[in-house]
Amino acid sequence: MLQPLLRGGLWPLLPALIFLPMALFPPLNQDVAGVLQFSQRWLAGEHLYVDLIDVNPPLIFVLNLLPAAVAAVTPLDAVVALQVCLLAYGGLCWWLAHRARDRAAEGSVERALLDALPALFLFAAGYDFGQREHLMAMAALPYALVAARRARGEVPRGRLAVALLAGVAFALKPHFIGVPALVELYVLTQRRRLDDPVPWLIGGIFAVYLASLPLLFPAYLQTVLPLAWNLYRELGGATAWQVLTTQRMGTATALLLPLLWVTWRRRAAAPSAHLPMILALMAIAALVAAVAQHKGWSYHILPLQMFASALGLALAAQWLDRSAILLNAPRTASALAGLFALYALANGEAPWRELAYPHGEVASLETLLQRVSGQRVLALSPDVYPIYPALNYLDEASTLPAMSTWVLQASYATCLPGGRHYRDVAEMQPAERSLYREVIEDFVQAPPAAVLVDSVTGIPWCNGPFDFVDYFRRDPRFAQVWSRFHMAGEGGRFRLYTPHS
């Protein structure tokens, strides 16, 4: 894989390598960090979807068992183990993309660009490095290259390995199903044959995964899925128009629309038009997936940005190869890759989060928690950030059943009648009652080394503020143990309580 790069020069790789420190330097993405710690807790003996409540389907936690296990049996800490695993995964996707191509059929600029494009997909995610959308996009690139050759009636090397990896990546979220659905429909319209094993393998992976849920994770279907549907789905939700008009989504959509028009105009220019057409379909599916999630969060938009950028670069490279202009292919490809990098910088959060880290919320929280490093902490906050990755960096385990107090946010989205702050236990819905009881039982039976309380609750002011400690202290057992705690420090919006010495 490296020989073509070395022969052609490393110029196309330079824009991607600029992002390498952004991907590896702190802070780790909060959702990536939270999932990693849940997998660590699962590996340590807690039960997923029983002791650990999260709306994400189980596959991402299963995959994170690998870095959790590496951290458990080696000197590497969990964050470094995760980063090593992500780099290895990116290298695998890069190698599969290289094997799948017919380099002799590519123009010189397109060839140099495609040599480096997997590195851009690996590193240019910036702060969203390691998110499920990032994992999917990386596997989708070799899948797109294989699909382009399959649409031409060819049998590329490694197509089954690519399909296996892509099938697992597409199964990470139900929102991703549109990507292989549109691509396979396009390939079918080009070949009109049903004996291609790739779609059957991807479909088989989905079928096996779905069949495993009631057998291996019944609590997910019985408890968590209804919880997600009834509470989480509308928490912080936005309309389709609101999602489309967010800055990142609007910019990505504005980039995509003219590229779709150019791709459609060139659709008859086979075989070179197959790759742009497939990238265009993947971008459309990514756009629909981002809107369907009703949030407009940066990582939801990431695949759209990557697929649209790759589409623009592929169209430009093919146009330059068709022109009569004499170009230095590696340096031209480097300039195109630089446009990808500039767009990622202008429309992303890296390197600004990394540069701000030493004086940011995560570092401040680490300083506050330093006195209980490596111990158990009850963290009461409506936000995953900056609790994660601060706990990860200090090797501290959260005792909260969820990654945040989002169940309370959803349960108290509106004020109670009569000016009351909190429901009685008998009035609580199952989700709130479960959280209430689990936090109290754990706190009483195995008191944590510290309690971290966020002054921001994410709950409306209803005849006074919602107070996390007062909420749980209504139980006399919790109140008795809490009486042994005192405030040991304060930083920003957080207060730290530890037992009296």
Give the pLDDT confidence of 311-350 residue by residue, as tens digits: 999 999 999 998 877 788 899 999 999 999 999 988 888 8
Is the distance from CB of 374 to CB of 448 less than 8 angstroms? no
Extract the tokens encoding 500.
Answer: 């009296």
Q: How confident is the model at residue 235 (pLDDT cuts 50, 70, 90)?
A: low
Q: What is the pLDDT of residues 453-471, one digit of tens each?
A: 999 999 999 888 999 999 9
For residue 491, the surrounding DSSP H or E stretch is strand 485-491
pLDDT above 90: percentage of residues in the chain: 79
**Residues linked to residue 450 through DSSP beta bridges, in sequence order:** 377
* Residue 426 reports pLDDT greater than 90: yes
| Range in 149-153, 239-243, 259-263 the model is least confident about | 239-243
Rounded-to-integer distance, Cα 210 and Cα 135, Å: 20
Q: How confident is the model at residue 500 (pLDDT cuts 50, 70, 90)?
A: confident
Q: What is the pLDDT of residues 76-87, one digit of tens each?
A: 999 999 999 999
pLDDT at 468: 96
Q: How confident is the model at residue 495 (pLDDT cuts 50, 70, 90)?
A: very high
Rounded-to-integer distance, Cα 121 and Cα 334, Å: 15
Q: Could you tell me the maximum CA-CA distance found in the chain, to the nearest angstrom?
A: 82
Is the distance from CB of 102 to CB of 156 less than 8 angstroms? yes
Domain ranges for the chain: 2-354, 360-499
